[in-house]
Amino acid sequence: MPYRRLPNTDAARVAALEKAVGMELRQSAGKQPASFKVLNEARVLLPRLKAAITQFRYNYEQLGKSNKQCQPLVKSARMYISHFIQVLNMSVSRQEIKAEHKRLYELDPDDFAVPDLMSEEAVLLWGKRIIEGENRRMALRGGTPIYNPTIAKVKVHYDCFMEARYSRDRFREQMQRSLQQLNKLRTEADALIAEIWNQVEAYYEECKPDERMARCMEYGVIYYYRKNEKNAE
């Protein structure tokens, strides 16, 4: 005995709704297997579901593009921040900058290791600290600015990364909102398709099994054979 299964993809949901709405136009008003109410709901839901699918796909693609654009920028920012800290530590080792001045950058005067910069959050944190620290050292302590790289060069790469990250996060928020809306419409579509199929199967209940299944399939009802049944056929 074949069993019925509801659509589990967006394309299948759209196809099921289109089939039901399309059959409404081919039947006279008094011979509709499904009620006017559910078919009208399908007609209203269909364009909303299509629009939500399109919007989600667009936001998903934009997020992917934005993420690709962000990766080389965070890599550059990480490299310049790391190089700046290394040069700062070498300047302290050569006594060109006092060790206690490292506190202006929120660095331990006795620790000459570069902080872990693997995460984007760490790049954001240490980029901000060294930019502010270098500016404080120049304003409050005087002395020679660090070169190769200069803090201005570091800031350029840091700001580019910040802008790309902001853009990517905005696309992520838009994608999440569009996914929430799409999931809501998916739930509505699944319930509506199930109701349409229930009504169609009930309408053709008196028909012979093969005829009933064929007529229901005209309304988009999907049947599957189990493996042993398929082999028996």
Using one digit for the tens of pLDDT, what is the confidence trace for 131-157?
999 999 998 866 789 999 999 999 999
Q: How many residues does the chain have?
A: 233
pLDDT at 176 > cutoff 70: yes
Band of residue 218 on the pLDDT scale cut at 50, 70, 90: confident
Percent of the chain past pLDDT 90, that is, above it, reads 76
Q: Which amino acid is at 76?
A: S
Report for 29-38, 163-172, 215-224: range of highest mean pLDDT = 163-172
Percent of the chain past pLDDT 70, that is, above it, reads 94
Unique residue bearing structure tokens 């902080």: 115
Whether the CB-CB separation of 16 and 217 falls below 8 Å is answered with no
What is the pLDDT, as a whole number, of residue 231? 46
The whole model's pTM is what?
Answer: 0.81
Q: How far apart are CA 165 and CA 57, in angstroms?
A: 20
Whether the CB-CB separation of 56 and 179 falls below 8 Å is answered with yes
Per the prediction, the chain carries an average pLDDT of: 92
Question: How many beta carbons lie within 10 A of that of residue 88, not counting itself?
Answer: 23
What is the pLDDT, as a whole number, of residue 30? 65
Band of residue 226 on the pLDDT scale cut at 50, 70, 90: confident
What is the pLDDT, as a whole number, of residue 3? 80
What is the pLDDT, as a whole number, of residue 143? 75
Over residues 78-96, the mean pLDDT reads 97
What is the pLDDT, as a whole number, of residue 1? 62
44-75: b or e for each residue (b if 16 or more CB lie within 10 Å)?
A: ebbeebbebbebbeebbebbeebeeebeebbe
9-56 pLDDT tens trace:
999 999 999 998 888 776 666 678 889 899 999 999 999 999 999 999
